[in-house]
Copies of this chain bind each other. A is one copy, B any other.
Amino acid sequence: MARIAVVGGDGIGPEVTAQAIKVIRAVLPDVETVDYDLGATRYHRTGEVLPDSVRDELAGFDAILLGAVGDPSVPPGVLERGLLLKMRFDFDQYVNLRPSKLWPGTTGPLGAVKPGEIDFVVVREGTEGLYAGAGGVLHRGTPAEVATEESLNTRHGVERVIRDAFARAQRRERRKVTLVHKTNVLTHAGGLWARTFEAVKADFPDVTTEYQHVDAAAMFMVTAPARYDVVVTDNLFGDILTDIAAAVTGGIGLAASGCINPERRFPSMFEPVHGSAPDIAGKGVADPVAAVLSASLLLDHLGHADAAARVTGAVAAELAARTPGAPLRTADIGDRLAAAAAS
């Protein structure tokens, strides 16, 4: 039996995770879920973000499904660093996986790109880089103020995520990995990434490779997104590139992600890329598709590749059948997806 912790979070988060769980149950009846009320609401009520006791409880689950956390009323960084990033780091979720696909039936903003032409996955490093939180401030609020941020990179951390990217590429049709960094400016970390990439590549002779600077990649993701298959990159570059990827595939409304500990020593966390969207919260009009696609990644990670594929298939059918501009009802979409995935 699979045990899943559900962190609905804020805004539309709980609405979309409810649908995702509905769909998971339709394909995997033997699942136990436990809800956790983390997010802005709990923070305002108790001042707590992620108490150690809750973190330790979460560690016992097979996976975590997260909706969205965040609210304008919470100072920037509190929930991000205290909850999202804490889980990524404490649970060693070093593979931040973000598939990008222009689904048949949907239209992206790029005039010349047809559905099906964009189909790549970004393997973003999840536990290092500028996200380590290293840095500080001196003379705060004075004309002499200095602030630093330090990007920390280890061979250990870089090699494992690059290996994961190559292994994923090997299971895909085009078998291609693009390394993205900024080796011409960030020569210290860039050198580590580039040398590690060359070393790992030798173990995957059937995978083709290329390197791009992050600025060039940001451009090509707009002008030539079809060229990518698997993209592996640093934590911050991955943050930016996956939002561009979401944009060219029709917006973050459809983008799914998994923060994965591939060895399953810790639970992995799956979440839609979109935020809590407080403006439409509680109205039952949020699109649960990104949460449902995140559930599909969750199923796949837990070894239920078949169930995962049925969920993805249901989403593909749903999107292909949509009338552009027609109003969305969150629960109806969940019902339809659950029924389609079950059958």
Residues of chain A having any CB pair with chain B under 8 Å: 76-77, 80-81, 85, 109-112, 130-131, 133, 135-137, 139-156, 182-192, 194-195, 214-216, 218-220, 222-223, 236, 239-244, 246-248, 251-252
Contact = CB atoms under 8 A, between A and B. Distances in A.
Contacts of A215: 239-240, 242-243
Nearest to A157: B146
Contacts of A252: 219
A189 B109 contact: no
A139 B192 CA distance: 11
B148 A155 contact: no
Given A76-B184, A247-B218, A195 B141 contact: yes
Contacts of A182: 236, 239
B149 A151 contact: yes
Nearest to A251: B223
A190 B190 CA distance: 23
A185 B85 contact: yes
A194 B75 CA distance: 12
B147 A191 contact: yes
Nearest to A141: B195
Nearest to A159: B143
